Structure 1
Amino acid sequence: MSNWFTVEKIDHLTYAISEYKHWEQTHCYLLIGEKTSLLIDTGLGVADIKSVVTDLTDKPVQVVTTHVHWDHIGGHKYFNNIIVHEKEESWLNGKFPIPLKIVKSNLMKEPCDFPKDFDLDGYTIFQGRPTGILKDSDVIDLGGRKLEVYHTPGHSPGHICLYERSKGYLYSGDLIYEGTLYAFYPSTNPSDFMNSVSRMSKLNITRILPGHYSLDIPVTLINEIKDGFSNIYSAGNLKQGNGVFKFSHFNIHI
């Protein structure tokens, strides 16, 4: 198994597979069901995440994409069964909105001890046809475990969160985490972001499992972010180009 990844047990059938050595500190999640396993995102793609996954489960693996950004789809190349929200099917299948040059610049933004066999010149953005398309309110059944799909646009048009109602787990992608939340790119929408956070705040959540940075975040963070967006909106500042708004445990860049 590659030492690039850190594996942490969330519970006896749920694992976080993380890339702490990179400044993005991406998290992917492996959920093991009775029939199949689900891998939520695949990270940067600088090392073989499949080798980690196969050490943890012998069940067939389906990959679900929270959103089609380079740091969440890099390891898709190692898998055949990939699903994505309908609004980002084209991004996955040939129309990725960010040039490779910019992606590589972001990848190398801060010094990093990459795996010895990593070749920056050969690094590419995954492109491929998904094997399944997701819509809001779809349910993914792993056998004994069910994940509800929530379309949560804002950070990207087809961003989704996954909610495991039986455990109260929210796999929040880039909607909720401790760090800077990005809604300033042309493909983002600050109003949609605010509305998506508000929608998720209504769920009965016992644990937030984010796409980046600390895994140990309080469930109260979702309401803090909701209030942050509300304050920006009330001040008439929820418009792209207004900069970075700083709060206690997160920032919002619009």
Structure 2
Amino acid sequence: MECTLFYTELSRGIYRISDSLHGPNSDGFSDAPGRATQNSYLIQGQERAALIDLAVDTPDLFSYACQLTGLPTQVLLTHGHPDHVYNLESVGEAWLHPDDYDLVLKGIPGICFPIHNVVLNPLKDRQKIDLGERILEVIHMPGHTLGSVLFWDKLSGFLFSGDSCSRRLLYGLTPTVPLDEHCKKIAGLAELPINHIYTAHDRCGLPKAHLLRSCELIRQELPKSATTVIIPGIGIMRNLRWGDENTLDYFDMAVEESYVEGLLK
């Protein structure tokens, strides 16, 4: 089946770019909660645009995004996992937190190969990215990876979280911070006037309440869970699956065991 890229304008100058092969249900164009999807976000300012994550697995993604606005477009990466840097070599340049440089430049043994011939520019906590009458703020959120970041658009009230504040969370694939430290950072986001949270693997926008709810589940329910899951290339991880995948309240987390033990200390 042919991959069809399409966009949805979420707010003025903000576009979610998805593909029809990875729909949440049998409708490849649906934005309902459901199965994991692939999504990048294009943020348009007056002078330039930013594409958040190369998270749709097609070589046409970057050119498609550039054609939507006709503006100079830079690639901002929420983190360095392989499903967020598809075809990065052909783009040639991206912005990423330095703590994740090695994930891209050296790869992850047993999971992905290094990416060569790419220029990585640093992102830092509280950095402002001026697109022209629209500013994205970088929020460093170590957890999913050490260099994970969020992008906050005050103009729309949208938080673009990659995999950090999502309905599905993989934790401890590579060394990272303790879960309690991660939860404290997540809870601190509640001070922002967030309208919606947009993630790389769901088309539906998540409510602000998801932040504190996910932290409560991690602290209260994860240590009780006796369920494990085998992640290809990684091994056995502790798993918490809460709720129905077809609802916004769903939460599915796979965690390397030592991070769960750290919660109990």
TM-score by length of 2: 0.76
Pairs aligned (count):
227
Alignment of 1:142-221 (within 5 A): 142-178=131-167, 180-191=168-179, 192-221=181-210
Specify the code of the residue in structure 2 equivalent to 1:199.
G
CA-atom RMSD in angstroms: 2.7
Quick check: 1:253 aligned with 2:254? yes
Residue 47 of structure 2 aligns to a residue whose secondary structure is: coil
Q: 1:122-159: per-residue Cα shift (whole Å, max 9, x none)?
A: xx764344342111111111010101111101111100
**Is the 8 Å Cα contact of residues 66 and 72 (structure 2) preserved in structure 1?**
no
**Is the 8 Å Cα contact of residues 61 and 81 (structure 1) preserved in structure 2?**
no
Residue 201 of structure 1 aligns to a residue whose secondary structure is: helix
Q: In structure 1, which of residues 243, 246, 252 is the aligned counterpart of residue 238 of structure 2? A: 243
Name the stretch that deviates more: 206-215 or 2-11: 2-11
Distance 2:20 2:254 in 1: 23
Q: In structure 1, which of residues 220, 227, 230 is the aligned counterpart of residue 216 of structure 2? A: 227
Q: Percent identity?
A: 24
Alignment of 1:39-54 (within 5 A): 39-54=51-66
Specify the code of the residue in structure 2 equivalent to 1:47.
P
CA-CA distance at 1:51 after TM superposition: 2.8
Give the aligned partner of residue 121 of structure 1: none
CA-CA distance at 1:63 after TM superposition: 0.5
Unmatched segments (≥5 aa) in structure 2: 23-34, 227-234, 244-249, 256-265
Distance 1:227 1:156 in 2: 20
Structure 1 residues 59 and 189: alpha-carbon distance in aligned structure 2, compared to 1, 3 A threshold: same
Structure 1 residues 131 and 69: alpha-carbon distance in aligned structure 2, compared to 1, 3 A threshold: closer
Structure 1 residues 151 and 128: alpha-carbon distance in aligned structure 2, compared to 1, 3 A threshold: farther
Unmatched segments (≥5 aa) in structure 1: 104-123
TM-score by length of 1: 0.79
Specify the code of the residue in structure 2 equivalent to 1:244.
N
**Is the 8 Å Cα contact of residues 40 and 64 (structure 1) preserved in structure 2?**
yes
Residue 21 of structure 1 aligns to a residue whose secondary structure is: helix
Q: In structure 2, which of residues 98, 107, 123 is the aligned counterpart of residue 86 of structure 1? A: 98
